[in-house]
Amino acid sequence: MPDFHATPIFPQGFRCASRNVGLKPSAKDLTLFASDVDCAAAAVFTRNHFPGAPILLGRETIRGGVLRAVIANSKVSNVATGEEGVARARRMAQAAATELGTSADRILVSSTGVIGVPLPIEKIEGGVIGMAGELQRDPLVGAEGIMTTDTHPKALSLSVGDATITWVAKGSGMIEPNMATMLCYVFTDAALDAATLDALLRDAVDASFNQLTVDGDTSTSDTCAILANGLAGDVPLDEFRAALLAGCLRITEILARDGEGATRLLRVGVRGAASVREARIIAKAIANSPLIKTMVHGADPNVGRILMAIGKCIDCTIRPDATDAWVNGFQVVRGGARLAFDDAVVRTALATEVVDLDVVLGVGDGEARAFGCDLTKGYIDENAAYYSS
């Protein structure tokens, strides 16, 4: 595991700014990330059938493989807004391009927040004016402007040789990404071409964000993009690949721990599955189960639920008599049967901020991990009045 910087920094040539432009009452709601020079770039987007207008535009923009900047707003997601929504996403790209002195086809646009509400584009067009003069080097400043129900801004960085990789992300609810998570931007000064970035990003996302679930609901705005401006020159590809994956995994854990209402990070490991695909399905079924999530919340030693969650994956190969399970390293299931144990010991084992559930299936060599959180009353509070608050 590479060492992340104690305080996240940007790679050479990247800066950001964020402002309140009136979408939220007072918190920051608009962020601009910019490189001094054009970047090779790749991105993955949600597979939801109702992608937001920024996704429709982003798929078009990323085809060129070149980006200079990202503009992203919170509070309103510009989803389910029809043709007018796409027109407003284009106006948002143009506003950022004008401010930065580049062209709109080099601007990636993201919007996150309530679905189905018109984007207040005039506030964004007016609000972005002057932001080029405020660009600065702290990635957390940019992270602030894209928060919705997140309880803290999320950024991370590490070094790969002379280069730096920096992640800025947001996400808390409506999270079971399918191709990418809510919003995550990866910036690097390593020199890599767009095709290489695309392949590296897809692999890293498959093992990290696509194994993340807060509530099983796939957002219409999921976007993960990587921008490489090359200012640090070449880096060893294997080292870059490992670092990219490590950072994506760590951001995945950070997003899971900050899931809406969450008090615990849930990590599920599955080994011995028939294939990686089946291991991923089973790991996510466990991480997604409301009964597992409430068990983790209450540190209730109701570990039979682990078998229930494995067993409901009816299209996977399971050998009940070969199935073992552990809670934070303490074995609770052997050969498909719950072991006799002291409830107090398992209760104590469960009562930690990070809960690891590990399963060995004894079927094949497939391994996977999934990342989630507990299910609490805080989730209900946040989502029974999200639109109205």
- Considering only residues 90 to 149 of the shown chain, the ones binding its own copies according to CB under 8 A are 114-117
Where do we find the tokens 């506003």? Answer: 95
263 sits near its own copies (criterion: CB under 8 A): no
303 sits near its own copies (criterion: CB under 8 A): yes
- Considering only residues 326 to 345 of the shown chain, the ones binding its own copies according to CB under 8 A are 333, 335-338, 343
388 sits near its own copies (criterion: CB under 8 A): yes
380 sits near its own copies (criterion: CB under 8 A): yes
Q: Among residues 1 and 314, whose Cβ is nearest to its own copies?
A: 314
The stretch near its own copies (CB under 8 A) out of 25-33, 74-82, 249-257, 271-279 is 74-82
78 sits near its own copies (criterion: CB under 8 A): no
Q: Are 71 and 202 in contact (CB under 8 A)?
A: no
151 sits near its own copies (criterion: CB under 8 A): no
173 sits near its own copies (criterion: CB under 8 A): yes
The stretch near its own copies (CB under 8 A) out of 21-29, 137-145, 192-200, 210-218 is 210-218
Q: Are 89 and 54 in contact (CB under 8 A)?
A: yes
383 sits near its own copies (criterion: CB under 8 A): yes
375 sits near its own copies (criterion: CB under 8 A): yes
Q: How far is the CB of 382 from its own copies (least distance, A)?
A: 8
Q: What CA–CA distance (Å, rounded) separates 111 from 120?
A: 11
384 sits near its own copies (criterion: CB under 8 A): yes
Q: What CA–CA distance (Å, rounded) separates 138 from 285?
A: 37
63 sits near its own copies (criterion: CB under 8 A): no
260-275 b/e (C-beta count within 10 Å ≥ 16 → b): bbbebbbbbbbbbbbb
Q: Are 174 and 218 in contact (CB under 8 A)?
A: yes
311 sits near its own copies (criterion: CB under 8 A): yes
Q: Among residues 57 and 160, whose Cβ is nearest to its own copies?
A: 57
Q: What CA–CA distance (Å, rounded) separates 289 from 370?
A: 12
Task: State whether residue 359 is helix, strand or coil.
Answer: strand
The CA-CA-CA angle for residues 306, 307, 312, to 5°, reads 105
Residues assigned a catalytic role? 181
**Three-state SS sequence of 165-189:** EEEEEECCCCECCCCCCCEEEEEEE
DSSP label at 339? P
Q: Phi and psi at residue 120, in whole multiples of 5°?
A: -75, 80
Q: What DSSP string describes 2-48?
A: PPBPSS--PPTTEEEEEE--SSSSSS--EEEEEEEEEEEEEEEE---
The stretch near its own copies (CB under 8 A) out of 35-43, 168-176, 193-201, 242-250 is 168-176
Pick from 1, 26, 82, 133: which binds its own copies (CB under 8 A)?
A: 82
Q: Which chain residues interact with its own copies by CB under 8 A?
A: 47-51, 77, 79-82, 85, 114-117, 173-174, 176, 178, 215-220, 288-291, 294-295, 297-298, 300-305, 307-314, 316, 318, 320, 323, 333, 335-338, 343, 375-377, 379-380, 383-388
